[in-house]
């Protein structure tokens, strides 16, 4: 009897062990990486537009590559009266390699669009006015005497003084005298005597006179 009891007990114990289930394996949750932060792209500040450089009042469109020549110079059949124009403005300025004088004139009184003003330029020790024959005094080391032909008499005055010219190193003083019998005279005091060149421009009509530095 003891033998069967032991066998039965062993069988019962084996049955109990067979029904035991292994506990489920714990599943470790996968670690998720934190969301990547999106850095906003830096935008460059708007490019500032540099304002255009101010142009000199004598920045005319005269070709700057025309050769300079030693004075005296004459042009346009001076002293012939081929036109009848009124001087409306005289302005001067400095450039890197030359000083510039611009003589602006009105349209030809008779309507001739291609009528040119005659001119003569020369360095002198003393400038004498055409009308009265009196000296025209200007400051400076040298004197450039400019004469123009074909000039009308302005209604308001026979003499238009300009005095000292501000903002230039080369032209120390400018005096405009006349006109007298169709001729006008512009006398410039300068710091030195340099080669010159003359250019005609249109719309409006201008004579551009450069003195090389």
> CA Rg, the chain, in Å?
48
Q: Which of 9-13, 93-97, 166-170, 209-213 has the lowest mean pLDDT?
A: 9-13
Q: What is the pLDDT of residue 113?
A: 82
Structure tokens at 39: 């850095």
Residue range 72-77: mean pLDDT, rounded: 95
Residue range 123-129: mean pLDDT, rounded: 97
Furthest CA-CA distance within the chain = 170
Residue 213 near residue 99, CB atoms below 8 Å: yes
Structure tokens at 8: 């039965």
Q: What is the mean pLDDT of the chain?
A: 77
Rounded CA separation 129/146 (Å): 11
Q: Is the dihedral of CA 11, 13, 19, 21 positive or negative?
A: negative
131 confidence band (pLDDT: 50, 70, 90) = confident
Q: What is the pLDDT of residue 93?
A: 93
116 confidence band (pLDDT: 50, 70, 90) = very high
Residue range 85-93: mean pLDDT, rounded: 92
Highest mean pLDDT among 17-31, 62-76, 101-115: 101-115
pLDDT for residue 1 is more than 70 = no
130 confidence band (pLDDT: 50, 70, 90) = confident
pLDDT for residue 196 is more than 60 = yes
Q: What is the DSSP string of 109-138?
A: TT--TT---EEEEEEESSEE-TTT--EE--
53 confidence band (pLDDT: 50, 70, 90) = very low
pLDDT for residue 26 is more than 60 = no
Whole-number percent of the chain with pLDDT over 90: 54
Which CA distances in Å does 107 have to 152, 155, 163?
11, 16, 26
C-alpha angle 106/86/162, rounded to 5°? Answer: 110
Ordered by where they begin, the domains of the chain are 73-212 (2.60.40.3500)
> 0.75 cut: is pTM over it?
no
């Amino acid at each position: 009897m003891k033998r069967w009891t032991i066998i039965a007990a062993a069988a019962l114990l084996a049955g109990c062990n067979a029904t035991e289930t292994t506990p489920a394996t714990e599943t470790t949750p996968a670690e998720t990486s934190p969301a990547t932060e999106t850095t906003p792209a830096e935008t460059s500040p708007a490019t500032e537009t540099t304002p255009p450089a101010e142009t000199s009042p004598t920045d005319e469109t005269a070709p700057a590559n025309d050769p300079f020549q030693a004075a005296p110079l004459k042009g346009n059949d001076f002293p012939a009266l081929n036109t009848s124009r009124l001087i409306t403005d005289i302005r001067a300025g400095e450039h890197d390699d030359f000083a510039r004088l611009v003589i602006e004139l009105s349209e030809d009184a008779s309507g001739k669009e291609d009528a040119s003003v005659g001119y003569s330029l020369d360095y002198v020790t003393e400038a004498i006015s055409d009308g009265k024959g009196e000296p025209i005094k200007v400051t400076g080391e040298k004197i450039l005497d400019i004469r123009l032909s074909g000039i009308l008499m302005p209604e308001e005055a026979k003499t238009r003084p300009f005095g000292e010219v501000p903002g230039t190193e080369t032209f120390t003083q400018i005096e405009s005298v006349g006109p007298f019998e169709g001729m006008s005279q512009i006398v410039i005091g300068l710091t030195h005597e340099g080669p010159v060149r003359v250019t005609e421009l249109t719309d409006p009509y201008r004579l551009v006179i450069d003195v090389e530095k």
